[in-house]
Structure 1
Amino acid sequence: MPKTQSPPPAKSTVQPPPSPDSMTTETIGLVILAVGAVALLSVGQATPGAAPLLRQLSGWGAVPLSLAIMIAGLLLMVQRFVKITWRWPMIVGVELLLTGLLALTHLWWGGDDPLRWAQAGRGGGYLGWALSSLLHDSVGAGVSALLLIVMAGAGGYLILRPIWQWLLYYLLRALDWLRGEAPRFDPTAGRQLAAPPPAPVWEQNPLPVPPKPQPAAKRPATAPPKVGVQATARSAPPTAVAASSGEASAAETAAPLRPSPRPAAAAPAKAAEPAAPGRKPAMPARAAPPSPPAVVNPAAPPEPKLPPLSLLASDSTQRFGEATVREMANTIERTLAAFNVPAKVVNVNRGPTVTQFGVEPGFIERNGERYKVRVSKIERLSDDLALALAASSIRIEAPVPGRPYVGIEVPNPRSTLVTLRGVLESPEFQKIGSNLAVALGKDVSGAPVAADLSKMPHLLIAGATGAGKSVCINAIITSLLYKNTPDTVRFLMVDPKMVELPIYNGIPHLLAPVVTEVEDAVAMLTWATVQMDDRYRKFAEVGARNVASYNEKAAKRSDMTPLPMIVVIIDELADLMMSAPDDVERQICRLAQMARATGIHLVLATQRPSVDVVTGLIKANFPARIAFSVTTQIDSRVILDTPGAEKLLGRGDMLLMLSDSAKLRRVQGCYVSERETERVVAFWLKQAPPGDHKAPRPWAGLLEQREDDNELQEALGALQGRKRVSASLLQRQLRIGYPRAARLIEQLEAKGYVGPDEGGGRSRLVLLEEESEVADDGGDEGI
């Protein structure tokens, strides 16, 4: 045969002599391979050389970097024998992935001194420290982490792009074969990796491409196919490669019907059969029309929607550099050492307003023995530390709960604004499953702080003027408005100043407009106690222990209505205590003692935390308290039973005391601007029923009854020492009109205090029996 007379195979096996360039490349590859092997073997050893330098440069990345050097040298050595294609996108992807992971390691686990961590060859080394510090100081921790994750993800995409493109290509071919669109699919073709992969799905033409005309000899000589979607799909000529799902014909796109389970060979013969007489030919299938929208009852009110977070300002991160923190830590250590108090800064927590330095007391030698430095000696040096740090005031927490060090809280050179949106978006707030979750701020470590009002169960807020009480109340109200509809939470608000809370008038959550008068506030508290007693009676009827159990039973029965939570907010308690101290204290203490199970919670605020305003009974029933900046240590002891609030910085800086924690927690409160509040209120005003804010106050009858009771008590006082009384006498004594006096006479008669009308304009007989000596003023007295 001619093919057997080809040149002898010996000539094909003779290799040409290597060129000088190839020998140089192999030598360079051998050197690189040796350098990578030495670096890999010496990684982790303390001997000086290339390995410690590589460890400092890339941290844990020294191992993959050494392996990459060895692989590069090996490829250079064998490229004369094996054709190697350098895929630069994959190389760039490896570099991006490694660099991003090194920087992320240093950003998240860099500790208090990332530079020292890099010098020790830990984390991401100098490379990770440089990139993470640059991004952190420029855009903050959160944005830096996001950018580095995107960088690592882009590197992983470039590395795995050829692999997943091949997987996607053969997966689509397999799906087409299973659906019968490519009956000649050969599963072994997937092993022919030399064939170029198809273009990605997103790069293909999304419109159906008409098939190319085939020669007449290749077309099947059959009758015209039956009109229909399946016949149209089979009449198209097969392509060289199995068509992907994005290359389907227009008829298949319009009618996504499954192919017939019959064999493909029988399809043309079946299609050649004529249609049955009297039966219309099948029309092309069309897409099913969209289902008609559900009919909504126009009489039923629409379901209320919760406001979006876009109504609030975004969180901002402004942090000062590491050099400033190290300088402040060194100043603290030097100042303590100057007063013979050896100590070391072992931890640093940077918050939005203050930075907490964890100082571990050292040892001193006395008479040849070592003694631990007392914590009280560090506390006594607070003024000296404030002088050395040039700080307005510092607070010492000795010791920090659960930590073996003393916390020295120093004001930051630049404060960071804590927004309500940043706390509402935090996991700490989201994991609270209660509807009464409130956002409070961020602590000294920058962690968001949120609390459950149902577990407090009442909150007392105190602080000087301008310290941030009203902003804190607005943050609490806004937090509840973001989690609750009017069906779950209702508000009762009291604002004697008439400038802070009336902005919420009209929202559907209010049971009545904001109360601004003291008499109205007392009636409102009385009505709240009546509601509490009424709810307890409802609980007893159905066998429920609290409002949650009652609502669970109400959800299963049609004759019961779920009860919403009621939050009573009083912005200035001191004004009420000055006007009606007995009534206000009695009603507040009764609500605080018993209203928790009924779903009624109190939030009280005052700017004068004195003993006549925040009495012992009120403090005993309010275990959860917030203290803003106060003027004296006495005020701090009244509200918190301990000093410390007098050293706060103001403008939202507060100490938080919760019922489940014995230690105070320093928090920078959330800031809610007036414009943000207006946007949230406007959102709820659009969903409020028309005329809802014009409804009468539910305690209006109680207010009139209270006035009647007061006048009745005054009338009974006027009866003392008299034997007969008339309407004219009450008119003169009480200084009221005659109709009101006549109505009081009728009420006294109904209660049995005076006798019936004797006629003739005569006065009535007084039936009181307390007097031992009664003055007789004559039968015509008062006429």
Structure 2
Amino acid sequence: MPAPPPKLPPLVARWDEEWGPSPPEEKEAREAQEKTAVAESRDDKRRRVSNGWELPPVHLLNAVGEEAKPPDNEARAQLIVDTLKSFGVDARVVSIQQGPTVTQFGIEPGWEVKTRLVPERDERGRIVYDKDGRPKYRSEVLSRTRVRVNRITALANDLALALAAPSIRIESPVPGKPFIGIEVPNTAPSVVTLRSVIESPAFQKMASRSRLAVALGKGVSGEPVAADLARMPHLLIAGATGSGKSVCINSLITCLLMHNTPEDVRLLLIDPKRVELAAFAPVPHLLFSRVIVELEEVPAVLQAVIQEMEARYRAFAAVGARNIEAYNRNPRAPEKMPYWVVIIDELADLMMSAPYQVERQLCRLAQLARATGIHLIVATQRPSVDVVTGLIKANFPTRIAFAVSSQVDSRTILDMAGAEKLLGRGDMLYLPTDAAKPRRLQGCYVSDAEIERVVAWWADDRFRHLRPEPMDHLLEQVREAGLTGEDDPLFQAAKELAMEHNRISVSMLQRRLGIGRERAVKLMGALEQAGVVAPADDPLASRQVLIRPDEDELLG
């Protein structure tokens, strides 16, 4: 019998433990660190772009926050099953997906079995009796049918009561899955930072294909979600006050600033609130020299964008290009065109000041501007039918709905209910163009400190000699070539309105024709030149109408 191997001395054993082969966990951790270091060095190289510009580093954004303590999902799943069973509904939980704000429980409907009791019989067909002389009975299945989905959805309020949740949302069925999704709010929601989505493979893949990749947030199962603004091609955002619209817009702008130079993307910011987008005023990406805050300037600004769109189409025709990507690749193009992103923070104010003009201009841009690289992001806190009209909805196929106050508002923005059950603070429903149902996301959060760091990077003096010239001359051209006299398409309508009254004023033209004050003053001057109204010292004063309808027919 061979002798056992000698025992290693303590020193050798200690050396073997300290310097011997690493366990698999340590090897995996070291390889992950090396991959992260390589990815960061590659990212730094990629961020040094040509022509002197340098993209902001990712470390300007806050790191990924700590995950909230996971709730006891197993107990909640059992509570859902027990609650449904107490109402006579057979079901079982087949999936649990925990997200930053809600947890989705996948419920598979069970079977509804109908049975009857029949007496037992022996081999000869005689009834079998027990020892007390009573016949024995057995249960016989008559039919097995699936539990209807609407029996589960009808118990939404009862499930919310049992789970002690403020509200639950039932998605029936989950797209692409053979079960119903019950979304229950987490007791401690976690914050989704912009950096956590930007560093995800989903966003990196999207950013490698498009200049206008934007980070939206994370889904109900915690997966990062990114989108391509060029494919949307326009975005409509709606939600009640405090639901997260402005934070969403800030994250979209910050994401564009993190990955594009002013030679790639120019921004046109329209902020009737005056304070929401003011932090981005110093960046060199602005199309004009300032953020547009005056409502009277908005029609002229949108008209300047329309003229630029038409000029781009003429440039495309000159070189035989169909869209901005083909034009920028064409060797005959004199210079590359940047993308334009027009961001309007409050549509309701614009629709109150000049509804007819703004709606017509927005719809024209939404219909034609996609190929020219001009994209719209429009937000409103009042998703009513007089603000989000049918024309606007038809031309903005991609929509984001935050928490709203009623089901009517949800149907206005999404054409379906569901947004009234959202939790607020970035909880949203994202409806892309190629989806039949909206997708629930927790939007990215960008703090004021992060925005200040990114803006300070672009406002640095080292980029001073590279800043492109603001295109304020486009506004001047629109003002100089403004519609005057009988060239205005509303002149005939203003003339007919005047002949229906004895006196007419600029404010009446504004109210009845739905136009701004500047255009109404021009129309009043045109009516005066045509002899329809009497002259006046004050251009805003009420005017006497000089022509009656019967006299106009005789003159015609």
TM-score for the superposition, normalised by structure 1: 0.56
Pairing 1:79–2:5 present: yes
Deviations 1:62-102 (A, max 9, x none): xxxxxxxxxxxxxxx5527999x97655567889626x3xx
Which AA in structure 1 matches 2:285?
H
Structure 2 CA distance for partners of 1:506 and 1:92, relative to 1, 3 Å? closer
What is the match of residue 318 of structure 1? Answer: 67
Are residues 357 and 94 of structure 1, via their aligned partners in 2, closer, same or farther at CA, if it must alter by over 3 Å? farther
Instruction: Rate the CA distance shift 1:732–1:707 in 2: closer, same or farther, 3 A.
Output: farther
3-state SS of 1:371 partner: strand
Cα deviation 1:693-723 (Å, max 9, x = unaligned): 887453133135437554553233225567x
TM-superposed CA distance for 1:496, in Å, is 0.3
Higher RCO, Cα 8 Å, sep 6+: 2
**CA distance in structure 2 between the partners assigned to 1:86 and 1:651 by the alignment:** 60
1:430 maps to what in 2? 204
Identity of aligned residues (%): 51
Following superposition, the deviation at residue 370 of structure 1 comes to 1.1
| Equivalent position of 2:328 in the other structure | 551
Superposed, 1:696-715 pairs within 5 Å as 696=472, 698-706=474-482, 708=484, 710=519, 711-715=521-525
Which amino acid in structure 1 is aligned with residue 314 of structure 2? R
Deviation at 1:507, TM superposition (A): 1.1
Distance (whole Å) between structure 2 residues aligned to residue 378 and residue 399 of structure 1? 11
Q: Distance in 2 between matches of 1:593 and 1:684?
A: 33
- Give the equivalent residue in structure 2 for 1:369: 143
Aligned length: 467
1:645 and 2:419 aligned: yes
Q: In structure 2, what is the Cα distance between the partners aligned to 1:636 and 1:318?
A: 31
Aligned to 1:586: 360
1:718 aligns with 2:528: yes
Match of 1:689 in 2: 464
Does the 8 Å CA contact 2:295/2:350 hold for their aligned counterparts? yes
Match of residue 347 from structure 1: 95
Of 286, 295, 312, the residue aligned with 1:535 is 312
Give a deviation string over 1:191-227, Cα, whole Å, max 9, x none: xxxxxxxxxxxxxxxxxxxxxxxxxxxxxxxxxxxxx
The structure with the greater share of residues assigned to strand is 2
The one-letter code matched in structure 2 to 1:515 is I
Query: Could you say if the C-alpha distance between residues 712 and 472 of structure 1 is closer, same or farther in structure 2, counting changes exceeding 3 Å?
Result: closer
- Identify the residue that residue 150 of structure 1 maps to in structure 2: 29
1:561 aligns to 2:335 (yes or no) = yes
**Structure 1 81/518 Cα, relative in aligned 2: closer, same or farther at 3 Å?**
closer
Aligned to 2:446: 672
* Higher mean C-alpha displacement, 490-499 vs 658-667: 658-667
Matched, 1:485 2:261: yes
Q: Distance between the aligned counterparts of 1:321 and 1:404, measured in 2?
A: 26
Distance in 1 (alpha carbons) for counterparts of 2:219 and 2:30: 31
Aligned mates of 1:484, 1:505 — CA distance in 2 = 17
DSSP 3-state at the match of 1:609: coil
Q: Which residue of 2 aligns with 1:636?
A: 410
Alignment partner, residue 309 of structure 1: 58
Aligned partner (choices 3, 23, 30) of residue 97 of structure 1: 23
Report the Cα offset of residue 735 of structure 1: 5.9
Residue aligning to 1:608:
382
From 448, 464, 475, the counterpart of 2:240: 464
Query: What secondary structure sits across from 1:698 in the alignment?
Result: helix
Supply the RMSD in Å over aligned alpha carbons. Answer: 3.0
Equivalent residues in 2 for 1:201-350, closer than 5 Å: 303-321=52-70, 324-350=72-98
Q: What is the rounded CA distance, in whole Å, between the counterparts of 1:316 and 1:409 in structure 2? A: 23
Q: Which residue of 2 aligns with 1:258?
A: none
Q: In the alignment, is the contact (CA less than 8 A) between 2:286 and 2:470 conserved in 1? A: no
Q: Answer yes or no: is the 8 Å Cα contact 1:508–1:685 preserved in 2.
A: yes
Residue 303 (structure 2) aligned to one of 526, 549, 570: 526
Aligned residue for 2:241, secondary structure, equals: coil
- Counterpart of 2:464 in 1: which secondary structure? coil
Q: Could you tell me how far apart the structure 2 residues matched to 1:81 and 1:665 are?
A: 64
Three-state SS of the structure 2 residue aligned to 1:344 is strand
Counterparts in 2 of 1:532 and 1:80: CA distance versus 1, 3 Å: closer
Asked if the contact 2:212/2:230 (under 8 Å) is kept, the reply is yes
**Residue identity in the other structure for 1:715:** G
- In the alignment, the residues of structure 2 paired with residue 153 and residue 637 of structure 1 have an alpha-carbon distance, to the nearest angstrom, of 47
> 2:32 & 2:336 partners in 1: Cα distance?
49
* Shift in CA distance, 89/375, structure 1 to aligned 2, threshold 3 Å: farther
Q: 1:434, 1:526 → 2: CA distance?
A: 27
Q: What does the per-residue CA deviation read over 1:329-370, in whole Å, with 9 as the maximum and x for residues that have no partner? A: 111111011011111111111100000011111112125211
C-alpha deviations, 1:252-304, integer Å up to 9, x for none?
xxxxxxxxxxxxxxxxxxxxxxxxxxxxxxxxxxxxxxxxxxxxxxxxx9611
Distance 1:637 1:81 in 2: 78
Shift of 1:732: 3.8
Is the Cα contact below 8 Å between 1:440 and 1:451 reproduced in 2? Answer: yes
- Give 2:97's aligned amino acid: N
| Shift in Å, 1:319 | 3.5
The residue aligned with 1:501 is 277
- After TM superposition, give the deviation of residue 305 of structure 1 in Å: 0.5
CA contact (8 A) 2:262 2:468 kept: no
Q: Distance in 2 between matches of 1:680 and 1:436?
A: 17
Aligned-partner Cα distance in 2 for 1:595–1:694:
21
- Do the aligned partners of 1:491 and 1:510 also contact (CA within 8 Å) in 2? yes
Whether the 8 Å CA contact 1:441–1:667 is kept in 2: the answer is yes
Report the Cα distance in structure 2 between the residues aligned to 1:151 and 1:696, rounded to whole angstroms: 54
Larger relative helix fraction: 1
The aligned amino acid for 2:225 is V
Confirm whether residue 511 of structure 1 aligns to residue 287 of structure 2: yes
Larger C-alpha radius of gyration, 1 or 2?
1
| Residues 236 and 378 in structure 2, CA contact (< 8 A), matched pair in contact too | yes
Q: Give the 3 Å change call, closer, same or farther, for CA 650–153 of structure 1 in structure 2.
A: closer
Q: Which residue of the partner structure matches residue 169 of structure 2?
A: 395
Gaps of 5+ in 1: 1-22, 27-76, 101-146, 155-300, 737-765, 775-783
| 3-state SS, counterpart of residue 349 of structure 1 | strand
In structure 2, the gaps of 5 or more residues are 34-49, 116-141, 486-518, 542-546
* Deviations, residues 716-768 of structure 1 (Å, cap 9, x unaligned): 3225567xx9xxx64548469xxxxxxxxxxxxxxxxxxxxxxxxxxxxx9xx
Gap change, CA 1:151 and 1:694, over 3 Å in 2 = closer
Counterparts of 1:153 and 1:604, CA distance in 2: 41
TM-score by structure 2 length? 0.78
Cα contact 1:721–1:773 (8 A) shared by 2 = no
Offset, 1:563: 0.5
Per-residue displacement from partner, 1:131-153 (whole Å, max 9, x unpaired)? xxxxxxxxxxxxxxxx7833899
Residues 1:388 and 1:625: Cα distance change in structure 2 (over 3 Å): same
Partner of 2:379, secondary structure, is strand
